[in-house]
Amino acid sequence: MADSADKLQAALNHDWLDPYKDCPAEYLTACREWYAALSASDKTVVAVARATFEKSDVKEAEKIAAALPIAPKFPLS
């Protein structure tokens, strides 16, 4: 998975509690810590990427997320 895809996944998973245990707890914790360390402007980028993803535009959401700092590797790739 490309870095931008990892960044998008972290943006989508930073505040998610996985009731089905699809993602390891360590990954979700790493996403929360990653998000907490972001600047206010980076958190805005996360919000825009997430909104774009929710409109079913995954490619554009990945492009937006590419501007974010290095994120935890998505474990399900």
Q: What is the pLDDT of residue 11?
A: 94
Which band of pLDDT confidence, cut at 50, 70 and 90, is reported for residue 76?
low
Q: Please, what's the b/e burial string for 29-49 (b: 16 or more CB within 10 A of its CB; e: otherwise)?
A: ebbbebbeebeeebeebbebb
Kindly report the pTM of this predicted structure. 0.88
Q: What is the pLDDT of residue 23?
A: 85
> What pLDDT digit, counting tens, does each position of 4-60 carry?
999 999 999 899 877 667 888 899 999 999 999 999 999 999 999 999 999 999 999
Helical (H) or strand (E) element with 5: helix 3-13
